């Protein structure tokens, strides 16, 4: 059997890294812009209290989705990529089929459990709670988020960064923006929260169906490749890999996002809207770091596989430091023009969230600095 030319192999790797990095950059950057557009449309279309409920429902649905994934989204990337790299195509198909089934079961348990708990347990205790009235929407939102997140990771495991970027948020946000604009044009009565939630779920479903159809075509080409008779990854290995990831993901989400829940408990929905809008806007402070992470992740992975990761550390420290400069500039801009920026982004009524914007932007800047504090003993895990 002819061996692959090392020079050609290195050239192919460089081309893959360059192409993947470009798609990752475009996907992250464009999605960040569109998320701001979506939130700006929602705050202008809905009453302030309803916008607060939307932000709160979004956070609950996202947390439920991470729970329903059972940590198998990142687990699937590992074993799908391993199967593709080693031409174990039966492993690729097997991992996708089984993780899809396990995640579907997890989604039913989490989404159904949330609906039952909200309606039958907390409903009688808090009969006037507005968020409980949205339980059916949120349960469906959880399910949609699960398969939306899982789909992007499947494409990532198949080493198709292009589709991973498109279906990791870009396509969904485009569909949502179009849907919201159409709703605004055709609606004669005041737009309700249920209308916006309906458009959100419809956009999510369109994105998921489109992505899964494309995934099936990609898997068909994988099935046609010669298959090695190799042992498949056992369910026990999938579980043992997924549970620690689930624990880290949930704990990280609670540390970073649970503040909106706390505000929802102690304050009214008007305050939640102000806080949620500021929280959405300050997310762009982290975007230079997130984009940088998406670009350098494959490079770090390649260097780690070659055992030469330490050679990359000085460059990563320098690039990480430079990437914080736009974040610092944004925080200074928020300090100087907080009220004006909130008013332009979300409407004049949201100018009252200027203090939230300043404090939350400082928190995000602290996260940026922490990310850039590369530890020589972390083996590149910070990336």
**pLDDT above 50: residue 120:** yes
The whole-number average pLDDT for the span 16-21 is: 57
Which of 24-28, 40-44, 280-284, 314-318 has the least mean pLDDT? 314-318
pLDDT in tens, 254-285: 887 788 888 888 888 888 899 989 988 888 88
Confidence of residue 376 (pLDDT cuts 50, 70, 90): very low
Distance between CA atoms of residues 367 and 295, nearest Å: 19
Question: Residues 59, 261: contact at Cβ < 8 Å?
Answer: yes
Q: Which residue, 344, 364, 318, 35, is CA-closest to 169?
A: 35
Q: CA 326, CA 294: separation in Å to the nearest integer?
A: 17
The residue-averaged pLDDT of 66-74 equals: 91
**Residue, of 15 and 110, whose pLDDT is higher:** 110
Distance from C-alpha of 196 to C-alpha of 38, rounded to nearest angstrom: 11
The 10s digit of each residue's pLDDT in 363-373 is 888 777 766 66
Please list, in sequence order, all residues whose beta carbon lies within 8 angstroms of the beta carbon of residue 112, skipping any fewer than 6 positions away: 139
| Sequence-ordered alpha helix ranges (H) in the chain | 6-45, 48-69, 72-85, 89-116, 123-125, 135-157, 161-165, 171-186, 193-223, 235-266, 269-282, 287-306, 313-346, 354-372
Confidence band (pLDDT; 50, 70, 90) for 353? confident
What pLDDT sits at residue 270?
87
For residue 292, give both structure tokens.
């940088």
Q: Which residue has the higher pLDDT, 5 or 278?
A: 278
Cα–Cα distance measured from residue 325 to residue 198, given in angstroms and rounded to the nearest whole number:
39
Q: What is the pLDDT of residues 222-261, one digit of tens each?
A: 766 665 556 677 888 888 888 998 998 898 888 877 888 8
- Residue 379 binned pLDDT confidence (cut-offs 50, 70, 90): very low
């Amino acid at each position: 059997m002819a061996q692959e030319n090392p020079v050609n192999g290195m050239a192919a790797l460089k081309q893959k890294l360059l192409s993947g990095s470009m798609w990752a950059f475009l996907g992250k950057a464009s999605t960040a812009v569109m998320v701001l557009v979506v939130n700006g449309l929602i705050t202008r279309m809905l009453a302030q209290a309803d916008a607060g409920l939307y932000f709160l429902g979004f956070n609950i649905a996202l947390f439920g989705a991470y729970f329903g994934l059972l940590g198998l989204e990142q687990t699937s990337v590992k074993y799908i990529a391993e199967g593709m790299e080693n031409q174990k195509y039966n492993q690729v198909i097997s991992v996708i089929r089984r993780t899809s089934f396990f995640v579907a079961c997890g989604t039913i348990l989490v989404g159904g459990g949330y609906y039952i708990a909200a309606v039958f347990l907390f409903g009688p205790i808090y009969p006037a709670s507005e968020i409980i009235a949205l339980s059916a929407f949120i349960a469906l939102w959880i399910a949609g988020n699960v398969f939306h997140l899982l789909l992007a990771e499947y494409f990532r495991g198949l080493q198709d960064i292009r589709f991973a970027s498109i279906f990791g948020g870009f396509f969904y946000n485009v569909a949502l923006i179009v849907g919201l604009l159409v709703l605004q044009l055709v609606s004669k009565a005041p737009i309700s929260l249920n209308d916006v939630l309906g458009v959100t779920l419809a956009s999510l479903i369109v994105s998921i169906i489109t992505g899964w159809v494309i995934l099936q075509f990609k898997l068909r080409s994988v099935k046609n490749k010669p298959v090695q008779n190799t042992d498949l990854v056992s369910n026990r290995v999938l579980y043992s890999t997924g549970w620690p990831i689930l624990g880290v993901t949930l704990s990280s989400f609670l540390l970073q996002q649970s503040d909106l829940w706390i505000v929802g408990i102690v304050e009214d929905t008007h305050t939640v809207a102000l806080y949620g809008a500021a929280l959405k806007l300050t997310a762009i402070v982290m975007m230079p770091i997130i984009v940088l992470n998406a670009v350098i992740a494959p490079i770090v992975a390649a260097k780690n596989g070659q055992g030469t990761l330490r050679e990359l550390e000085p460059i990563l420290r320098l690039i990480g430091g430079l990437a914080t400069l736009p974040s610092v500039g944004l925080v200074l801009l928020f300090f100087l023009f907080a009220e004006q920026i909130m008013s332009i982004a979300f409407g004049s009524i949201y100018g009252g969230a200027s203090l939230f914007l300043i404090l939350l932007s400082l928190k995000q800047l602290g996260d940026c600095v922490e990310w850039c504090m590369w530890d020589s003993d972390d083996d590149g895990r910070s990336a």
